[in-house]
Amino acid sequence: MELKYSCVSFGTVSSVLLVFLLLNNGEAQEICSAPQELIPIAENNEINLKIMTITIQEGVTLTLSTNPENAFEINGPNLVVVKSLDFETLDNAGLLEVEINCNKPGSHTVSLNVYVHVLNVNDNAPKFEKNSYSFNVNELTPVHTNVARVDATDIDEDQLFYQLKPVDPKDSYFYLPSEITPNIAVNNVLDYDSIKQHTLILHVQDSPLSTVTSHTATTTITFNILDIDNRPPWFLPCIELTQSFTKICLNSGYRGIVNLTEQAPDALILEPGPVYAVDGDKARNDEVAYRIVAGNEDGIFQINPNSGNITMLKPADVPGPVILTVLASQVLNSEQFYTTTVTFTVVKRSQHPPEFVEKLYEGRISSESGQDSIIFEINFNRPLKVQALDADFANGINPDLKYEVPGNSDFAVTAEGFVLLKGEVMPGIVDLQIRAVDLSNAEAGTTALIVHVLPEGVSLPFGRYRMEDMAALGASLAAVVMLCLVIIGLLIYRIKKGKADWQKLTEASIFRSSFTQGSSGPKDGMQYTNDGFQNDGDTGSVASKVQDDTDLKLDTISAAKSRETSVDKPIPVTSSALDTFLHDSSSLTGSEKTDSEKGVKPILTKERKNEEGYKSVWFKEDIDPNGKKEVVIIPDNEEQDVDDEEDSFDVFSSSPIATPNVFFKDTQKGVKTADDNRVLNVEGADGRNSVNT
Domain boundaries, the chain: 32-119, 127-226, 234-347, 355-454
Query: Tell me: the pLDDT tens digits for 475-486?
Result: 889 999 999 999
**pLDDT above 90 (res 374):** yes
- CA 602 remoteness from chain centre: 85
Where are any strands of DSSP class E within 348-491?
A: 355-356, 360-366, 376-377, 388-389, 401-404, 411-413, 419-421, 428-438, 444-454
Provide CB contacts within 8 A for 252, sequence distance 6+.
Answer: none
Average pLDDT over residues 679-689: 39
CB 76 within 8 A of CB 56: no
Provide CB contacts within 8 A for 71, sequence distance 6+.
Answer: 81, 82, 83, 85, 96
Average pLDDT over residues 366-374: 91
Of 234, 224, 338, 225, the residue nearest 285 (C-alpha): 234
CB 191 within 8 A of CB 179: no
Helix, strand or coil, per DSSP, at residue 587: helix
Where are any strands of DSSP class E within 390-497?
A: 401-404, 411-413, 419-421, 428-438, 444-454
**What CATH superfamily is the domain 234-347?**
Cadherins (2.60.40.60)
Query: Do β-strands 3-4 and 110-121 pair in parallel, antiparallel, or remain unpaired?
Result: antiparallel
Return the DSSP state at 176: -
**pLDDT above 80 (res 396):** yes
Which amino acid does the sequence have at 371? Q
Distance in angstroms (rounded) separating the CA atoms of residues 224 and 230:
17
| pLDDT for residue 465 | 56
| pLDDT for residue 57 | 85
**pLDDT above 50 (res 27):** no
- Which CATH architecture fits 127-226? Sandwich (2.60)
Intrachain domains 127-226 and 234-347 with the same fold: yes
CA angle in degrees (0–180, nearest 5) for 205-209-210 = 145
Helix, strand or coil, per DSSP, at residue 110: strand
| pLDDT for residue 575 | 42
Sheet of 183-186: strand order equals: 146-149, 183-186, 174-175
| pLDDT for residue 657 | 41
Provide CB contacts within 8 A for 301, sequence distance 6+.
Answer: 268, 292, 310, 311, 312, 313, 322, 324, 344
Look at 211 and 568; give whichever has higher pLDDT.
Answer: 211
C-alpha distance from residue 74 to each of 27, 53, 81, 100, 226 (Å): 21, 10, 9, 9, 69
Q: Considering the domain 32-119 in this protein, what is its CATH number?
A: 2.60.40.60
CA angle in degrees (0–180, nearest 5) for 624-628-634 = 105
Lowest mean pLDDT among 22-31, 116-125, 360-369: 22-31
Average pLDDT over residues 307-331: 94
DSSP output for 510-537 = HHHHHHHHHHHS-GGG-----GGGS-TT
Query: Tell me: the pLDDT tens digits for 500-533?
Result: 666 777 777 776 666 555 544 444 444 444 444 4
Where are any strands of DSSP class E within 49-144?
A: 49-53, 55-56, 61-66, 72-75, 78-81, 95-103, 110-121, 127-128, 132-138
CB 304 within 8 A of CB 262: no
Query: Tell me: the pLDDT tens digits for 428-477?
Result: 999 999 999 988 777 899 999 999 999 987 765 555 555 666 788 888 89
- CA 164 remoteness from chain centre: 51
User: What percent of the chain has a predicted confidence (pLDDT) above 90?
Assistant: 40
The CATH fold of domain 355-454: Immunoglobulin-like (2.60.40)
